[in-house]
Amino acid sequence: GNVFGPKYLWGRMLYNQNQCDGLQPASLRDLPLAGEYFAKSAAELMESPAAAYFDRGMRTMYTIRLARERSVTSLAPCDPEVWTNATEVAELVRLVIAKDLANLGQWHWKDGYRSVQGDIQYDLRTSPATTYWSLFLDVFHADLDPGQRGAVLGNLSVAIDGYLMDCAEWDWNFNNGNNWNAELGHGSMAWAIMRWHEEPDRARQVANCTLQALRAHARYYTESGEYPEGVSYSSVSMDGLLGILRLTLTAFGEGPAAFRPEVMSRFGDWVLDMMGPDALLADFADCHLRRGHGNFHGLLAKLWGPMSARNYDLSSLEPWLPCYTRAFFRNKWFDSGFRNPFLVDPVLAQEWPLIAARCNVTVHAPALSTFRVYPEGDRGGTAVLRSTPPEASAVDVCDETALRRSQIEQTYLAVSAINPNFAHTQWDFGTVIWAPYGHRFLADLSYGDLRQYNQWPSPYIELGPTGHNTLVVVEAGSRSTMQYRVGTVEAHPDALGLPVVDLDGSLPYGAVDTE
């Protein structure tokens, strides 16, 4: 973990180089991913996994749009000069159109999910395809002939028919309210904005369905800041929300009102608390045991207010932003937050090392011991205790080389009392994670582990779909789980003033089950 500026990732994602160090690509063929359109046939491109095809195409379309913009304005500092090569840009446009359209018929638009109401028409496969091809029509609007445009519109129209059918029936992919709502909404909103003037009634109907689904999803961002599905699924949600926010801010000047800045800010705090001093996520609910923050979601959630208002002057956040920045980047690894440049919000264009350097660890940093409970009213919650021994306070956390190591002497204890009403959390209640001094000694079973490894006696394992991180206590019975009985979590000081967390799991663990 280290604090870095956005130029590094931006240059690496788009150009595979750092232009400001004087390293310029000699040709568009040298660009990462975009260069593959020059080097590979349509069939070879289609051999990529669906996610890789999506990333390559999105980054290439962004490159083309930016190059065309620079051709009529001027190069910005550190822009590659190859963007002024109109011949190469035109050739790249021709290749992308030809090869992507050659592969259009091989895209999978549905995964075949079913609900009690029947087939789900618009699912997790449909949304990215809808996003991709809606953007394709937008970027290449003036380059496509009527036949090419009609072929893409025909596929999109079938997808949107399914979306409106599911919305009218308020099928599972709408009424469940979970991370699907945001993920599916990204594609539907992209189509609605792309066809806003050509199909105004239908586009508005799709946009209204999207906003209605987002209102159903907003409850997953609880008032305390907790996201009960776990950090991994919050990332799926945030990817969709950020896409919708970028689209609606650009098209309408405002974002979805269901996600209030103060709630999203508390969610940003929860994201930090779900990272142990061993740099591993607290894998409650449907969370994978991942190392480090692979995206910028915690930071962006804290900045939801200025981001939604397009206010990129963060000086008013000075009392807390420097130390939050330092704490976030302490465990920020990888680069997934920049892989789709269309989703990179301008609010990230800050000199984060300079902001973090203003963290006065004596005045603004958290106390040596922090104790937080994220209640969900009467629906459970999560408690997190993080403690640093006083003798460790001399560690120079402003030393960049020691930034991640500065947490190694912390003791971390997290307890889950998540509402079993949320899918895949039925037996999480009472789970404890203990990570002292950079090592995890007590841990949950992560998302899908039991399904993946299955090395234990089967009577004690729930071998349901991947994701049921369920240790079954046979004697407790299963009816209480099916009836969604809820435990409680309370925090209070004991006689010595020390924090105590009381969990009552009698209901979720079958105390009143007559069987």
Residue 316 sits at the vertex; the CA angle it makes with 263 and 359, to the nearest 5 degrees, is: 90
Residue 37, C-beta contacts closer than 8 angstroms, at least 6 positions apart: 45, 60, 92, 95, 96, 99
Cα(76)–Cα(340) distance, integer angstroms: 20
Joined together, the tokens standing for residue 391 give: 């003798």
Q: Residue-wise over 393-416: b if at least 16 C-beta within 10 A, else e? A: eebebeebeebbbbbbbbbbbbbb
- Model confidence at 16, pLDDT cuts 50, 70, 90, reads low
- Model confidence at 382, pLDDT cuts 50, 70, 90, reads confident
Mean model confidence pLDDT for the chain: 81
User: Which residue type is seen at 330?
Assistant: R
Task: Using alpha carbons, select from 145, 64, 54 the residue that is nearest to residue 100.
Answer: 54
> Is there a contact between 128 and 109 (Cβ–Cβ < 8 Å)?
no
Cα(192)–Cα(129) distance, integer angstroms: 14
Residue ranges per structural domain of the chain: 1-106, 107-220, 369-504
HSE, CB side, 13 Å, CA atoms: give it for residue 52. Answer: 9
Highest mean pLDDT out of 111-115, 214-218, 282-286: 214-218
* 492 three-class SS: strand
Q: By mean pLDDT, which of 42-51, 429-438, 490-499 is the weakest?
A: 490-499
Cα dihedral sign, 189-193-195-196: positive
DSSP state at residue 415: E
- Model confidence at 101, pLDDT cuts 50, 70, 90, reads very high
Average pLDDT over residues 482-487: 58
Q: What is the pTM of this model?
A: 0.85
Q: Can you tell me which residue has the tokens 């994701």? A: 467
219-276 pLDDT tens trace: 999 888 888 888 888 999 999 999 999 999 999 999 999 999 999 999 999 999 999 8
